Structure 1
Amino acid sequence: MDALRTRCAALAACSPFSAPARRLISTPRPFLKAQATKPYSQSTAALQARPSFLRRTINFVAIGVAFTSLGFAMTAAPALPALNGILTPATDAETLTMFTPEDQEEIQVEEYIANHWLTKEMRTRADYSESRPHLKIPETFRVNNLTAGTLRGPGKVVVPPFAWVEAGGKSIVSISYLGSGLCGHPKIVHGGFLATMLDEGLARCCLGALPHGVAMTANLNINYKAPTPAGTYVVLRGTTTKVEGRKAWVEGRIETLVAEGETPVVLAEATGLFISPRQAAMMANVMPVE
């Protein structure tokens, strides 16, 4: 019996199902726990790292707004100088430095006007402000302006006219050169151009006497006194004769520019009524005052 027991014990010790064997092939509990929790930990980290739907939506909208703003800025960029020119037009003093004659005709005309006795005299009058009013119009808009763009250039209005306006819109003196490209008949300046000069010049004369510096032509009467030869230097003179509220009456003339002591030839005379519109305050903010 003892021998049988001894043999059974020996077989049990050699059996693969014995306790020591089970301990040798069993997996440690900490390792199983780590294996089981690792996939869960990676999944949780991935979910936490992924932006929420709200955050992704905000980012998408922000990018869209940024690119839209950039596109608008690129589209509007060419218009910004013109807008700035309207809101902050050049001063009288600035306009005197904005034109540089280039070709021989421009140089000759510019020098003649600058050195003429009338120009020198007007520059000594402290009660007058000198300017080149057409240069107050932004450059991008001059191409659509008759006297500042369409009719400005070689053979026409060769250089931007000079103007001296008395304080308070009392009077004006302006000097221009009229080339051969302004003719209605051969070698004779078109009467319609003289009418345009008088219309603009007399309105400019009374700007300082009207509210907000805006004048609209209500009436203009012109009498032509003599033909105006092409290639002539002319002087426009205007005087504000009466002001009543938003209305101003102005009279003036265009005459030849002559040497000191000589009598000029009157080419055209005009009278006009100019009104500052009720919307003048708004117009003054969006239109350059010439």
Structure 2
Amino acid sequence: MLPRMGFKAGLRLYSNATKKFVIAPKRQSNKWLLASTFAASFGAGWFVTQHMTFADVLAKWMYDNVPENDEGLMKYKAQLNSRLENMSVVKQLKAVGYSEVYPQRKKSNTLIDETLRAPGGITIAPRFFYNPRTKETVGVYHLGMKLTGYPFLVHGGILATVMEDLMRESVMFAKGTATEKTKDITLSYKFPTFANQFVVVRITEVEEHGKNVKLRAEIMDQSGDRTLVKGKGSFST
């Protein structure tokens, strides 16, 4: 015969018999979060460094309002000219029949050659290459941090100005004139343009109708691999 138990003793026994064991869920490892954060940071840093150098970023503040003969500014300009000269696109142009040309620009291109000619703007003069057989022109411009709309991105109005500038030079090269008149220009923006990089602006098609000229052009990144802006324009001479 089982011994009789009091009420409290029986309750304790019942509670122990019905107790459930709960296994705590395993903590999810955060190694994937850390890995993805590192990868995203590394990727963003790599992407930015492909388009700008530390000296480029500082140029807006380091060389602002300094005289043209300032040693630091002169070294910075020399560095930009050296980078331009060693661009693969420039070497390719010279290899396929393009010759560098030196137009007289001061009288008709005051926006690019005077107003925007400052550290952080268009610090050095653009370079132009012309193919007399195809009548196509290519221009290389360096666009600095002061020319941004959104952070790190060149303002669309600046890109339109650069596109028109190259088109005007192309018309004068093709027609052998010293002046031209812009009738209309249409642009289509394909990809954001990062500041503090060179852009390559090239004419892709030339149509001559008497004194009228129609052009198609595009702006590419400094590698020449990505089209940033496409445009077309009509001019008269």
State the alpha-carbon separation in 2 of the partners of residues 216 and 179 from structure 1: 28
Cα deviation for residue 102 of structure 1 reads: 4.8
Counterpart contact for 1:217–1:275, Cα < 8 Å: yes
C-alpha separation between the residues in 2 aligned to 1:132 and 1:213?
13
Instruction: Give TM-score scaled by structure 2 length.
Output: 0.63
1:111 aligns to what?
Answer: 82
Alpha-carbon separation, structure 1, partners of 2:214 and 2:86:
33
**Which of 182, 197, 202 matches 2:167?**
202
Alpha-carbon offset, residue 270 of structure 1: 0.3
Hey, what does 2:139 align to over in structure 1?
174
Q: CA deviation at 1:226?
A: 1.3
Matches of residues 237-252 of structure 1 in structure 2 within 5 Å? 237-252=202-217
Describe the shift of the 1:183–1:132 C-alpha distance in structure 2 as closer, same or farther (beyond 3 A): farther
Instruction: Report Cα offsets for 1:133-187 as digits up to 9, x if no partner.
Output: 4xx235xx59x81100110121111211111012267101111111101112221
CA distance in 1, matches of 2:166, 2:81: 20
Choose which of 98, 101, 116 in structure 2 pairs with 1:151.
116
Match of 1:223 in 2: 188
1:177 touches 1:232 (CA, 8 Å); kept in 2? Answer: yes
Root mean square deviation, CA, Å: 2.5
Q: Given the superposition, is the C-alpha separation of residues 170 and 256 from structure 1 closer, same or farther in structure 2, using an over 3 Å criterion?
A: same
- Contact 2:204/2:218 (CA < 8 Å) preserved in 1? no
Structure whose residues are more often helix by fraction? 1
TM value normalised by structure 1: 0.52
Q: Distance in 2 between matches of 1:274 and 1:238?
A: 14
Letter in 2 for 1:130: E
Number of the residue aligned with 1:122: 93
Are the aligned partners of 1:106 and 1:158 in contact in 2 as well (CA < 8 Å)? yes
SS at 2:149's partner residue? strand
Kindly indicate whether the alpha-carbon contact (under 8 Å) linking 2:199 and 2:219 is maintained by their aligned counterparts in 1: yes
Contiguous gaps of at least 5 residues in structure 1: 1-100, 277-290
Tell me the SS of whatever aligns to 1:123. Answer: helix
SS of structure 2 residue aligned to 1:174: strand
Distance in 1 of aligned mates of 2:134 and 2:215: 10
In the TM superposition, residue 211 of structure 1 has moved relative to its aligned partner by 6.2
Q: For residues 1-290 of structure 1, what are the structure 2 equivalents within 5 Å?
A: 102-125=73-96, 127-133=97-103, 136-138=104-106, 145-167=110-132, 170-210=135-175, 212-258=177-223, 264-276=225-237
Contact 1:240 1:248 in 2 (8 A): no
Distance (Å, rounded) in 1 between the aligned partners of 2:102 and 2:73:
17
Over 6 Å off, 4+ runs: none
Q: Which runs of 5+ in 2 are unaligned?
A: 1-71
Q: Give the equivalent residue in structure 1 for 2:27.
A: none
Mapped contact 2:143–2:196 kept (Cα < 8 A): yes
User: For the pair shown, which has the larger CA radius of gyration, 1 or 2?
Assistant: 1
Deviation of 1:273 (Å): 0.5
Deviations 1:196-242 (CA, angstroms, capped at 9, x unpaired): 11111112112233363432110100011111111111100113431
* Number of positions where the alignment pairs a residue of Structure 1 with one of Structure 2: 167
SS of residue in 2 equivalent to 1:120: helix
Q: Which amino acid aligns with 2:180?
A: A
